[in-house]
Structure 1
Amino acid sequence: MLRGVAAQSSYSISETQRKRLVKQRLFIVYGVLLVCGLVILSRLMELQILRGAEYHELAQAQHFGGVVLPAKRGEILSRNSKSGETSILATNTTLDLVYVDPLITDDPAFVAEQLADVLVTEDSHALCSGGDDNCPRELMSFYSFAFDPLERLPLSGTGLVLEPVPGELPMVKAEEIIDVTEVRRLFARNIEKRISEKRVTFVPLLYGADKVQMNLVRDLGIQGVYAEEDVQLVFANPEEVDQDKVSGTARKLADVLEIDPDVLRRMLRSRPLRYVPVMRRLPPLLSSKIREIQQASARETQELRKQAPTTEAAQRVTDPLWSIALIPEHWRFYPVRMLWVS
């Protein structure tokens, strides 16, 4: 009888301990879940409430980009008081800007060659070779001999150290220095290099910065922010800027550069490169040619998709020129002086 009571008491004690252990373990599990929930909740509050606007802005920058286009201005007219005739002193014209989106460019070399073949024409080659002001600005660097008289000296000199500088520099024929095929090749390589970049690595923060501002920027010692005295420019490389401290960096620079901190924060944010201008003020004929090669490329892409063996294979076929786009821009035009300004 005593043995039965002892066994029952022992059984009761072990059962009580077991239940107590189960409760303790449940409390531990509940505590861990509560802590995890609080961590997740605090993180959500940070992402959605405290830094929601900042992350929304960052997400927008990953998918969208902005381009500042010159506004269309009114015409300036002149009226002859005697005859009553009206003449136009200043008007507007709309010309296209061609640009490339590097983020969706699969073959930069092919895109660059297609654009160079269209944009470098025999007419532009003749204008640039003669140093004409109507030469596209994007091509002037390849014809520096025509626009920089000092580069003609080595071509006309004899090599003597004390050789006198001629009063009138000789005219140099473009064919003797560079031909249109070479210009197209150089321009294509230039475009390819620029559209091969996938991230924004250069952002001008302030043009015309004075010495005081540039010295203050250097004293701050912010990684990724630079000051160039030669061109009086303060610029940044967002890929080198600490993205976890962008807001603080923007506040430090705001007082020095006299720019709104929110504007600086957006400029310093790391983001994909979505816009690389190739050439502005395209003549209508060149704009039409670019549209033609885009349409031809789209037709070829459709044919390749139809010939694909499977739906998945067809979806992998992309148009190599779909990253090229044209944007109309308004430019000021002075009919009398034949002068273009933005």
Structure 2
Amino acid sequence: MITESRRPKQKLNRLKIITAISLFLAATLIFRLMYLQIFKGGYYQTIAAKEHLGYMELTPRRGEIFIQDYHSKETFKIATNSTLDTVYADPTLIKDPKYAASVLTDILFNLEDEKAKDKARIEAEQKKLDPNLPQEEKDKLLKPLTDEELKQNFYNDLLEKLSTRVRKKIIITSDLDSQTIEQITKENLSGIEILNTTLIAYPQQINNTSKTAEILAKYLDVSEDNLAALLQGKNRYVVLLKKASPEISEKIKELKSKDKNGMFTGIGLQAEYYRYYPENTLASKIIGYLNSQKIGQYGIEEKFDALLRGEKGIFKTQKDSMGRQITVGDSVIKPAVDGDDIILTIDRSIQMEAEKLVSQGVKDFKADSGQIIVMEPSTGKILAMAGYPDFNPNLYGDVYKKEQINLTEDEIKNLVPIEGKENVFWLYLDKDTGRRILIFKEIYPNNTVVYKKYANTVGPAVYQNISVSESYEPGSVFKPIAMAAAIDDGDVTPNTTFFDSGPVKVDIYEIKNATNQYYGLINMTTVLEKSLNTGMAFVARKIGRTLFYSYIKKFGFGDRTDIEFSNEDPGQIEHFSHWAESELITHAFGQGLMATPLQMVSAYAAIANKGIRMKPYIVEKIIKKNGKIIETEPQPLNQAISEQTSKTITAMLVSAAENGVAHNAKVEGYYIAAKTGTAQTYFKGKPLKGAGTTIATVIGFGPVKNPRFAILVKFDKPRSSEWAETTASFTFSKMARFL
């Protein structure tokens, strides 16, 4: 049969065709694999790396700041770092929130902390009550919680955190442009809200997560998959306690090590670095502080922020199948470089004494503020730089705390609004002198109005180091500078005489002595002893504008000292070509020009140092992490006056301390060269008189045979007395006696 005879051939042909196709497919597959591996291998490895590799930043350790004790040769940390754990939870991994909350409450609950929070709650609630309500009635209405209630509330709060597996609110982005805002708004998506330029999602209100993600991805620089995961709102991280004590951290570790049933798998510890200032307020105006963004503010922390911060490193990680980051072989791509350490010139014991004395002086003399500087004349080292009021850099935010102030109806009527600031006013405590404080008006929901002031009176102004950041008219402490110029030029000697017969007429003004007393025939030493303005008018005319100006500049006035601070004030002195004769005269007793306390003490240090002016510095050395040490070398700037002139003016200043108005500044058993200065202040262009209106300064140095220190003591607007000799002189004497 023909049909039967063809079947074997058909089977054979079919087999050949199948075999050929198989060989073709195999060849194609092999070629494709070769192509992918050989020609496109690098491309797909890159994609794989992008999918599986991650990078984490390595945080460097911030450099430490040290001060010294020159006596014991010890070094003390004034700014350092502490590592404390944050206790956190991943609620999605908590099997039994009630059980976990119960166990963790026993570990984390701190009765004293909760009492403090409850006290703050009561105070806040009381402020909402009628201010005329007696305190006894307020206490009845708002009572503190019992210890048991506090612990129960803590447990309830913890339970809520551990039970919340879906976040109620997610901020997707906070920088939407107007076009994107319009586009997303038109989509009218449920669970999506735009506030200003911020895009917010409420996961529990979203009807279709994948669809919402698909739509938003069109307008945002975020992938659809990432948006979908984000919009699910899984609550994977919630803070239970920040800055946990080492004891709490150990208890958490022990709890997890014994957790065989995985009840605490979702509880973890995350080490965080905190800036810590072991000496609290000591040298706070020198150091500054590190803010919550880890950026140095004020003082050394700001000036040397880049050096202290170090350099971040990069750590390579690989993601496992669950997307978790795990370390791999050669993990560190770039190691972190720790910040440099800084050792200051500050002597700890001198700084402590200076801060004690300036604080006590401000309180005793009822001054607005005060400063003390101690400088080593031969080198320019700053041994102490104290100011009061001060602050604790560990609690730098406390300077913004306010307290209620009860104002009379007249005071409320006379509040002066500050332009551009809502509900912020000046309250003038003295209309004649311009003494004032900031007042904040707060309106509560029940329309109760409460007035407040800064608890420290000055608020964030306390951060300023007035010794370098604020200049003032120095007054009579400038007289030795003018006298030194005249002696150095040969215009006068200590024994040069003039007849002090009364006020000196200059232009349309009269130059009077502070006490309105006049002494007849006197010499230049007596002029400094009695601090006579009329005598300095005589000296100024002897020197003349050109020469006097050149000496003022030689002593460094009108220029920054370039000490290691960011906000140094250069002071102010106009060029002599702009001086009227009255300005020539008034400059000789420290009026009409501006200087910082640091400039003033530096000028006296030059007199003490054989006339050689040294550059002030406060950084002794910088210790690099590679072991290199950069030391600050003392730097002579110029010869302000001759060595002989320095000896002469020193002797005159010793006489001023022993026999003159600066006699309260002397130290028994030692010769001290010193001069007082009581500078006027002004309000609405008019000079003020009387207690609470002046700036009292005393500057001096000693021991005179081999001066080891120059000291400035300054009190701003003391209200116990207007004179430096009855305020700052006493503090100067105590400081000098200590040294």
| Bin of the TM-score, shorter chain as denominator length | 0.5 to 0.7
SS in 2 for 1:332: strand
Q: Structure 1 stretch 271-280 or stretch 93-102: which is displaced more? A: 271-280
- Give yes or no for contact 1:91–1:332 (8 Å, CA) kept in 2: yes
1:332 is displaced (CA, Å) by: 1.9
Is 1:129 the counterpart of 2:118? The answer is yes
Aligned partners of 1:242, 1:54: CA distance in 2, in Å? 27
SS in 2 for 1:289: helix
Residue of structure 2 in register with 1:281 after alignment: 243
Out of 325, 330, 336, the position equivalent to 2:268 is: 325
Out of 387, 390, 394, the position equivalent to 1:339 is: 394
Residue of structure 1 in register with 2:217 after alignment: 249
1:25–1:210 distance in 2 versus 1, CA, 3 Å: closer
Residue of structure 2 in register with 1:183 after alignment: 153
1:28–1:84 distance in 2 versus 1, CA, 3 Å: closer
- Give yes or no for contact 1:70–1:331 (8 Å, CA) kept in 2: no
Output one character per residue of 1:264-286: Cα deviation in whole Å (capped at 9) or x when no partner: 78964738765443221112232
Output one character per residue of 1:29-48: Cα deviation in whole Å (capped at 9) or x when no partner: 889x78x979x98xx99xx9
1:186 is displaced (CA, Å) by: 1.5
Q: % of aligned pairs identical?
A: 19
Aligned partners of 1:222, 1:54: CA distance in 2, in Å? 36
Out of 95, 99, 124, the position equivalent to 2:88 is: 99
Output one character per residue of 1:159-196: Cα deviation in whole Å (capped at 9) or x when no partner: xxxxx5547873533227982232123222222223x4
SS in 2 for 1:270: helix
Is 1:13 the counterpart of 2:6? The answer is yes
1:123–1:292 distance in 2 versus 1, CA, 3 Å: farther
Q: Structure 1 stretch 86-95 or stretch 281-290: which is displaced more? A: 86-95
1:125 is displaced (CA, Å) by: 1.4
1:22–1:201 distance in 2 versus 1, CA, 3 Å: farther
Counterparts of residues 163-242 of structure 1 (less than 5 Å)? 166=132, 170=138, 172-175=142-145, 179-194=149-164, 196-197=165-166, 204-207=171-174, 209=175, 212=178, 215=181, 218=184, 221=187, 226=192, 228-229=194-195, 233-235=198-200, 240=209
More strand by share: 2
1:183–1:201 distance in 2 versus 1, CA, 3 Å: closer
SS in 2 for 1:106: coil
Q: Work out the number of aligned pairs and report it.
A: 270
Q: Which has the higher contact order (CA 8 A, sep 6+)?
A: 1
Aligned partners of 1:167, 1:78: CA distance in 2, in Å? 52
Aligned partners of 1:55, 1:241: CA distance in 2, in Å? 25
Residue of structure 2 in register with 1:270 after alignment: 229
1:283–1:18 distance in 2 versus 1, CA, 3 Å: closer
Out of 256, 268, 275, the position equivalent to 1:294 is: 256
1:120–1:269 distance in 2 versus 1, CA, 3 Å: same
1:331 is displaced (CA, Å) by: 0.9
Aligned partners of 2:228, 2:247: CA distance in 1, in Å? 38
Unaligned 5+ segments in structure 1 are 1-6, 132-144, 157-163, 255-260, 302-317
- Give yes or no for contact 2:122–2:143 (8 Å, CA) kept in 1: no
1:323–1:220 distance in 2 versus 1, CA, 3 Å: same
- Give yes or no for contact 1:331–1:340 (8 Å, CA) kept in 2: no
- Give yes or no for contact 2:97–2:159 (8 Å, CA) kept in 1: no
Residue of structure 1 in register with 2:105 after alignment: 116
- Give yes or no for contact 2:100–2:263 (8 Å, CA) kept in 1: yes
- Give yes or no for contact 1:98–1:326 (8 Å, CA) kept in 2: yes
Residue of structure 1 in register with 2:570 after alignment: none
Larger radius of gyration: 2
1:128 is displaced (CA, Å) by: 1.1
Counterparts of residues 28-177 of structure 1 (less than 5 Å)? 72-77=61-66, 90-102=79-91, 104-131=93-120, 145-146=121-122, 149=124, 151-152=125-126, 166=132, 170=138, 172-175=142-145
1:127–1:103 distance in 2 versus 1, CA, 3 Å: same
- Give yes or no for contact 1:95–1:330 (8 Å, CA) kept in 2: yes
1:212–1:190 distance in 2 versus 1, CA, 3 Å: same
1:105–1:121 distance in 2 versus 1, CA, 3 Å: same
Quick one: which amino acid aligns to residue 233 of structure 1? T
Aligned partners of 1:244, 1:52: CA distance in 2, in Å? 29
Quick one: which amino acid aligns to residue 273 of structure 2? H
1:177–1:278 distance in 2 versus 1, CA, 3 Å: closer
1:90 is displaced (CA, Å) by: 3.7
Aligned partners of 1:241, 1:107: CA distance in 2, in Å? 30
- Give yes or no for contact 1:119–1:286 (8 Å, CA) kept in 2: yes
More helix by share: 1
1:96 is displaced (CA, Å) by: 0.9
1:211–1:84 distance in 2 versus 1, CA, 3 Å: farther
SS in 2 for 1:278: strand
Unaligned 5+ segments in structure 2 are 282-391, 398-739
- Give yes or no for contact 2:213–2:228 (8 Å, CA) kept in 1: no
1:291–1:14 distance in 2 versus 1, CA, 3 Å: closer
Aligned partners of 1:78, 1:206: CA distance in 2, in Å? 45
- Give yes or no for contact 2:68–2:74 (8 Å, CA) kept in 1: yes
1:245 is displaced (CA, Å) by: 6.1
- Give yes or no for contact 2:88–2:239 (8 Å, CA) kept in 1: yes
1:118–1:338 distance in 2 versus 1, CA, 3 Å: farther
SS in 1 for 2:229: coil
Aligned partners of 1:55, 1:227: CA distance in 2, in Å? 36
1:71 is displaced (CA, Å) by: 5.2
Aligned partners of 1:75, 1:54: CA distance in 2, in Å? 43
Aligned partners of 2:268, 2:243: CA distance in 1, in Å? 14
- Give yes or no for contact 2:91–2:161 (8 Å, CA) kept in 1: no
1:326–1:88 distance in 2 versus 1, CA, 3 Å: same
1:234–1:90 distance in 2 versus 1, CA, 3 Å: farther
Name the Cα RMSD after superposition: 5.5
- Give yes or no for contact 2:213–2:227 (8 Å, CA) kept in 1: no
Q: TM-score, normalised by structure 2?
A: 0.29
Quick one: which amino acid aligns to residue 281 of structure 1? K
Aligned partners of 2:74, 2:225: CA distance in 1, in Å? 51
